[in-house]
């Protein structure tokens, strides 16, 4: 009988940490791209929000996220 897998918190936090890095980069790039508002609060919200959002997605989907992220990168840089 198949037993459900236990949730691995160490794997979640590792994927969250390494997902937060590109999330912060994407948030910073969005801030630069939307440079109409030069407020540091808006920048902090974009960088922090991108880091948390992408980190949570990477932590929840683990290896599947990185496979899709790699395909997305190849679409921009073949």
Q: Which helix (H) or strand (E) holds 17?
A: helix 9-33
Number of domains in the chain: 1
Answer whether residue 20 is part of any domain: yes
Q: Does residue 40 fall inside a structural domain?
A: yes
Q: Does 4 fall in a domain?
A: no
Which CA distances in Å does 27 have to 34, 65, 72, 78? 10, 18, 17, 23
Q: How far apart are CA 72 and CA 14, in angstroms?
A: 21
3 state SS of 72: helix
Per-residue model confidence as pLDDT tens digits over 23-39:
999 999 988 888 766 78
Q: Is residue 1 part of a domain?
A: no
Check residue 75 and give its pLDDT.
80
Does some domain include residue 50?
Answer: yes
Domain-embedded: residue 5: no
**Helix or strand run (H / E) with residue 6:** none
Domain enclosing residue 64, as ranges: 10-76
2 inside domain: no
Percent of the chain with pLDDT over 90: 47
Q: 37-51, pLDDT tens digit by residue? A: 678 888 899 999 999
CA gyration radius for the chain?
A: 15
């Amino acid at each position: 009988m198949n037993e459900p897998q236990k949730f691995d918190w160490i794997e979640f936090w590792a994927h969250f940490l390494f997902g937060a890095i590109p999330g912060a980069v994407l948030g910073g790039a969005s801030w630069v791209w939307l440079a109409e508002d030069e407020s540091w609060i808006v920048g902090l919200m974009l960088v922090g929000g991108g880091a948390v959002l992408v980190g949570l997605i990477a932590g929840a989907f683990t290896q599947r996220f990185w496979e899709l992220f790699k395909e997305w990168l190849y679409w921009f840089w073949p």
